[in-house]
């Protein structure tokens, strides 16, 4: 199954520190067999202020690739693969779409009760709300400054987004 998660939604942890997936992201944890446990992988990415949430099938493919890198590639790639494997957790999702971010991962990004879950193609990201807002503002300013300086020069992406031929 391929995924295309986009947009963002503010979420708040409940009293038991569980976050609820917004309905628009239900495919992240949906299972085909009602008897199967719903699970997602949660990963702290190097140099990121967010956690990555992978649907189980995407996470399993990722783990396979990491296992190969861990043993078949350079020492540097092996160390990075090992770091990711050590910072990857399989998390249960209950019948109401709630999950608990493992404390280790939450601590790595200082996750609080107020968060944002955002789509990023085949994966989701969970951010502290304040970090998400600051990141969005900084990215918008950087992109505007960089691309507004290009003048009338258009890219294929501009044409796609704005319908310019």
In a domain, 92, yes or no: yes
Most confident of 4-13, 34-43, 136-145: 4-13
In a domain, 157, yes or no: no
In a domain, 24, yes or no: yes
Q: Convert the pLDDT of each residue in 53-75 to its tens digit.
A: 999 989 999 999 998 887 766 78
pLDDT mean over 115-126:
95
Output 100 or 2, whichever has higher pLDDT: 100
Mapped onto helix, strand or coil, the DSSP state of residue 40 is: strand
CATH number, residue 74:
3.40.1550.20
- The domain in which residue 73 lies consists of 8-128
Q: State the Cα–Cα distance between residues 10 and 19, nearest whole angstrom.
A: 10
In a domain, 162, yes or no: no
In a domain, 142, yes or no: no
In a domain, 153, yes or no: no
pLDDT at 143: 77
* Number of structural domains found in the chain: 1
In a domain, 165, yes or no: no
Sheet strands (E) in 87-163: 88-93, 98-100, 114-120, 123-128
In a domain, 137, yes or no: no
């Amino acid at each position: 199954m391929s995924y295309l998660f986009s947009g963002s939604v503010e979420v708040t942890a409940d009293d038991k520190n569980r976050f609820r997936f917004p309905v628009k992201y239900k495919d992240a944890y949906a299972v085909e067999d009602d008897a199967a446990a719903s699970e997602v992988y949660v990963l702290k990415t190097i140099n990121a202020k967010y956690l990555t949430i992978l649907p189980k099938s995407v996470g399993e493919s990722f783990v396979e690739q990491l296992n190969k890198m861990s043993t078949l590639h350079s020492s540097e790639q092996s160390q990075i693969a090992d770091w990711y494997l050590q910072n990857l957790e399989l998390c249960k999702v209950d019948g109401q779409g709630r999950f608990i971010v493992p404390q280790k991962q939450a601590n790595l990004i200082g996750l609080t009760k107020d968060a944002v879950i955002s789509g990023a193609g085949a994966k989701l990201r969970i951010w502290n709300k304040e970090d998400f807002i600051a990141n969005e503002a900084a990215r918008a300013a950087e992109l505007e400054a960089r691309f507004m300086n290009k003048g009338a020069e258009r890219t294929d992406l501009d044409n796609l987004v704005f319908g310019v031929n």
